[in-house]
Amino acid sequence: MKTRRRFLRDSSIVVGGALAFPNVLGAQVSRLAPSDQVRIGVIGVNGMGFHNLSAILGVPGVECAALCDVDASVLNRRAGEVEQRTGSRPTLYGDFRRLLEDSDVDAVIIATPDHWHCIMMVMACEAGKDVYVEKPLANSIGECGLMVKAVERYDSVVQVGQWQRSGGHWTEAVEHVQTGALGRIRLVKAWAYQGWMEPVPVLPDEPVPDGVDYDMWLGPAPSRPFNRNRFHFNFRWFWDYAGGLMTDWGVHMIDMVHYAMGDAGPLKVMANGGKLAYPDDASETPDTLQAAFEFDEYSMLWEHATGINLGPYQRDHGVAFIGNHGTLIVDRGKWEVLPEVETSGGQQQPLTTRIPQRRITDDGGLSAHMANFIECIKTRERPKCHPAVAARAAVTAHLGNIAFKTGRQLTWDDATQSFGDDEEAASLLWPTYRSPWTLPAL
């Protein structure tokens, strides 16, 4: 049976052939529906899921077919907002497996906590859906590898939410780095200083709120009493579900490092930090962290901090490519080049051209990222941030967290995705799933 996804692909092929041979296929083209809608289902609609949906609905030819969330109050509120915007109320689900069975859904957006990404993406691919999955790709290095294998096995189009890959000014900055104008790049800095983040208050456990399927929210994570600190947005700061700022903001910035410098993984990594800003709050992940990565031809420093905005180069986030001739600094709003200078004959000469701040002219890449995803659904090409690309940044970020947990420098074999004989570090490569959930078998 031909699925809607295959129909979209085959239609694009026929249309392409008709453009080349209009007299032969003209009659066939007139019977096609080139405006056929791509119907989207969203799993996890409270935060980024709904933001992603809003962006993708701006792409011509997209409809919202279904929404899924374990919190009924969130689900109903978002359904009303979709209906108000589109004039059509989507089908609602509390169990993502029922949404994946919906034959009217062509593609799904997965915007759940990180610990769900692997299972849901693999199951969606098995169900014949294309997928947009939020970053980080997974909550462990091992799961990242499984997700890459799943895409290869099921031939699904999968885009990962590292949308800066589609941002025009990010690409412009990366291309400048790659011209060699900065000279040999010896060091790259990446950082996220989040001054808006206040302490997570210590709260007692409580009964599960009405309308919340908490057992499904936990899924493969360990069983724990319900606590509002771990629910919705703040899940990011607890190891069961995520990796803190290292994987939340880290994958965005580190992805741009790999974008410019190549896909090779680090050779060694070490990290220092802890709960230094708010030592007594409820969060688990470090609010202050510095991680040093040794690559083959350069070093990378990652740092993050909560409660502070004044990061390197007076920016609260960004990437700095530091070369012998100059430094390029880029963030979500702008990029610039600061030249090194040399003194000769009493005169100072810049070693590269100074480039004043160049401001973004788009939304930073999210709209273009969604447009690329929809186009690839129709053409069956690889999107700009498919899982093999996203895994690179996610693995590097997870290595920073593993180095922090072990408290020492680690040696990483990127070819085998292993720590050699280091059993302690190796034990952190994979999660332990709570029954009845199991790691996907591929």
Output the pLDDT for position 5: 52
DSSP string, 164-192: GGG-HHHHHHHHHHHTTTT-SEEEEEEEE
Rg (alpha carbons) of the chain, rounded to whole number? 23
The confidence score (pLDDT) of residue 427 equals 98
The 10s digit of each residue's pLDDT in 158-210 is 999 999 999 999 999 999 999 999 999 999 999 999 999 999 999 999 999 99
> Residue 347: its pLDDT value, please?
86
Give the model's pLDDT for residue 360: 84
In CATH terms, are 4-26+33-165+371-386 and 168-360+390-426 the same topology? no
User: Domain 4-26+33-165+371-386, what architecture?
Assistant: 3-Layer(aba) Sandwich (3.40)
What pLDDT sits at residue 4?
53
58, pLDDT greater than 50: yes
**Quick one: which of 56, 71, 209 has its CA closest to 79?**
71
Virtual torsion, Cα 332, 78, 34, 384, nearest 10 deg: 30
- With contact defined as beta carbons under 8 Å apart, do 183 and 326 qualify? yes
As a whole number of angstroms, the distance between CA 85 and CA 61 comes to 15
Domain ranges of the chain: 4-26+33-165+371-386, 168-360+390-426
State the pLDDT confidence band at 36, using cuts at 50, 70 and 90. confident
pLDDT surpassing 80 at residue 25:
no
Has domain 168-360+390-426 been given CATH number 3.30.360.10?
A: yes
Q: Give the pTM.
A: 0.91
What does the block give as tokens for 373? 């995803």
pLDDT, residue 362, reads 76
Residue 5: φ, ψ to 5°: -65, -45
Per-residue CA distances from 85 to 51, 64, 78, 273 (Å): 13, 10, 11, 45
Is there a contact between 245 and 239 (Cβ–Cβ < 8 Å)? no
| Alpha carbon distance 84, 426 (integer Å) | 50
